[in-house]
Amino acid sequence: MNKLHVDYEQYHHLIDRVVDAVESSGYQPDLILGVSRGGLFLADGLSRSLRKPMAVIAASSYRESSGTSQGDLQISSTIASVVPVAGQILLVDDLADSGHTLRALCTHLKQFCPQIEQLKTAVVWVKPSSVFKPDYAAQYLESDAWIVQPFETRDFT
């Protein structure tokens, strides 16, 4: 599989594109909900830029073959947040790969957080085979490259 290496300068530019897309849409989230691990950098950038609180939910399906092969999705039973998970929520992950994680998280959150009035999603990248189309994205990829993000250098040593 081809690899797309992204450095910090490129990554921050992509975060800015997502921030601009959310701001220009007029959507006013009450809370940025980042998906650990990959979504935390984007969630932090959105939280700081939009001046909204950030919460974290853990979800993982990449545990097989040293984290490069997708398995069963596991979602944490709790959300780390200092404010209620309610109102307008922006769910943030790094990418929509197959799209199954974001789809499952949306279903999970609507079921377990009935105080959510509106749930929108944002990612840095969307792969062409994703079955889920986020509300906001910085880049729609034309091929199914493996993305090596700047903070993942320890994963590939």
**Exposed, middle or buried, 153 (CB in 10 Å: 0-12/13-18/19+)?**
exposed
In Å, how far from its chain's centre is CA 86? Answer: 18
H-assigned helices in 26-144:
40-50, 100-112
Angle subtended at Cα 17 by Cα 85 and Cα 113, rounded to the nearest 5 degrees: 15
Strand partners, 74: 60
pLDDT for residue 4 is more than 90: no
- CATH tag, 3-63+73-151: 3.40.50.2020
**What pLDDT was estimated at residue 2?**
87
Number of helices and strands (H, E) in the chain?
A: 3, 9
Task: Delimit the domains of the chain by residue range.
Answer: 3-63+73-151
Tens of pLDDT, residue by residue over 119-137, are 999 999 999 999 999 999 9
Tens of pLDDT, residue by residue over 42-97, are 999 999 999 999 999 999 876 554 455 566 889 999 999 999 999 999 999 999 99
**What pLDDT was estimated at residue 130?**
96
Amino acid identity at 133 = K
Share the mean pLDDT of the chain.
Answer: 91
pTM here is 0.89
